[in-house]
Structure 1
Amino acid sequence: MDLFNAVHEQMDAVRLPLVAVTVTAARRLNTPLVAILHWHGFRRASPLVLPGIDIPPRSVPGSAIQVRHAWHCIEAVDEVLLDAAWRLGAWDLERVERRGCNVVGASAGEALACRQAFGDYDGASADDALIDGAPDRGELMQLAANEGYLRWLFRPVKGGLWRALDERDDTLGPDGGRPPPCPILPVPRQRQGRSRTVYRLGAVRRILLP
């Protein structure tokens, strides 16, 4: 599972800065992962040019990628995400685990969070919100609604919107990335079904003056 190269290929093709990368997995071993690349950019809502009418731009839709690779524990996915986040210069990597929303007592907010984790944005058409390259996304979302899911998030500096802040991180190279391997080891998941883990990747080793 080489998430770093998959993200890098998308960056070369789209040629826009990344705001964030999210990866979501249903809580069942060996199911495909859904990675969503969130771009920073705008496009015209219509190719038509009408005299006297200003057509407002819309945000560039995200890109969904389905990652197929056998994984037998959450820590194995953590290792892949840590590698990608480290090499892309992210300050940290967040992992959250959530229960399924098709359970008694689950709130509307939990259902919304589950849909959004798989790129199903309430009130937005599919073409406006997402370029869908994950054919099993809907089935995986239903599985997650029943059994729970995990979602990882990091914000790249290399090729990302956050390049302007790279001077605050002393671990970054000139291009905003870091050479492999990532020195941070995965943390075993907790067993209660809902948890949040943050891996700190960046560091500041000097005094920052205002």
Structure 2
Amino acid sequence: MDLFNAVHEQMDAVRLPLVAVTVTAARRPNTPLVAILHWHGFRRASPLVLPGIDIPPRSVPGSAIQLTHAWHCVEAVDEALLDAAWQLGAWDLERVERRGCNVVGASAGEALACRQAFGDYEGASADEALIDGAPDRAELMQLAADAGYLRWLFRPVKGGVWRQLDEPDDTLGPDGGREPPCPVLPIPPTPRQRPARGRTVYRLGAVRRILLP
């Protein structure tokens, strides 16, 4: 599973800085993953030019990618995400585990979080919120509502908007990225017999010097 090259191809095509990359998987081995690239940029809401009328710009929609590589355990997905987050200079990688929202006692907030994890944004039309390159996204979201899901998040520095902040991180190269391999190892997820509501944060960045005010 080469998420790093998949993200790089999209960055070369879109040519906008990234805010974040999220990847979501239904809690079933070997099912496709949905990666969403969240861009920082704006476009005109309409190509029409009307005298005296200022048409406000809208945010550029995210890009959804379907990753169909086989995976037998969550740690295998973690390894691919750690590799991508490491090379793209992210400070950390977050993994959250959530139960399905089609269970007794699940709240409306849980259902909303599940939809958003798969790029289904309530109140926004499809072309405004997402450029959909994940043909099985709706089916995977339904599977996640029944079986639970995992969602990963990282914020790239290389090719991302975060490079402008110039935050201290002594592991980054001049371009905001890092050379592989990633030294951080995957951590097993919450056992299935427990409620799936875990959160794991992999720390990738580091400051090895004293920062003076």
- Common topology (TM > 0.5): yes
1:194 maps to 2:197? yes
Q: For the residues of structure 1 that align with 2:69 and 2:194, how far apart are their CA atoms?
A: 23
- Provide, for residues 111-159 of structure 1, a one-character-per-residue CA deviation record: whole Å limited to 9, x for no partner: 0000000000010000000000000000000000000000000000000
Q: For the residues of structure 2 that align with 1:127 and 1:52, how far apart are their CA atoms?
A: 27
Q: For the residues of structure 2 that align with 1:170 and 1:51, how far apart are their CA atoms?
A: 52
State the match for 2:118 in structure 1.
118
TM-score, length basis structure 1: 0.97
Determine what percentage of the aligned residue pairs are the same residue.
Answer: 90
Q: For the residues of structure 2 that align with 1:117 and 1:199, how far apart are their CA atoms?
A: 19
Q: Is the 8 A contact 2:64 2:131 kept in 1?
A: yes
Q: Is the 8 A contact 2:24 2:152 kept in 1?
A: yes
- Provide, for residues 164-184 of structure 1, a one-character-per-residue CA deviation record: whole Å limited to 9, x for no partner: 234410100000000000000
Q: Is the 8 A contact 1:78 1:186 kept in 2?
A: yes
Q: For the residues of structure 2 that align with 1:72 and 1:189, how far apart are their CA atoms?
A: 15
Deviation at 1:209, TM superposition (A): 2.5
Q: Is the 8 A contact 1:74 1:189 kept in 2?
A: no
Q: For the residues of structure 2 that align with 1:163 and 1:36, how far apart are their CA atoms?
A: 20
Q: For the residues of structure 1 that align with 2:157 and 2:194, how far apart are their CA atoms?
A: 32
Q: Is the 8 A contact 2:2 2:80 kept in 1?
A: yes
State the match for 1:134 in structure 2.
134
Q: For the residues of structure 1 that align with 2:181 and 2:192, how far apart are their CA atoms?
A: 22
Deviation at 1:207, TM superposition (A): 1.9
Q: Where does the alignment leave 5 or more consecutive residues of structure 1 unmatched?
A: none
Deviation at 1:79, TM superposition (A): 0.2
RMSD of aligned residue pairs (Cα, Å): 1.3
- Provide, for residues 14-56 of structure 1, a one-character-per-residue CA deviation record: whole Å limited to 9, x for no partner: 0000000000000000000000000000000000000000000
Q: Is the 8 A contact 1:166 1:176 kept in 2?
A: no
Q: Is the 8 A contact 2:30 2:71 kept in 1?
A: yes
Deviation at 1:189, TM superposition (A): 8.9
Q: For the residues of structure 2 that align with 1:191 and 1:208, how far apart are their CA atoms?
A: 42
State the match for 2:157 in structure 1.
157
Q: Is the 8 A contact 2:32 2:68 kept in 1?
A: yes
Which secondary structure does the structure 1 equivalent of 2:22 belong to? strand
Q: How many residues align?
A: 210
Q: Is the 8 A contact 1:94 1:153 kept in 2?
A: yes
Q: Where does the alignment leave 5 or more consecutive residues of structure 2 unmatched?
A: none
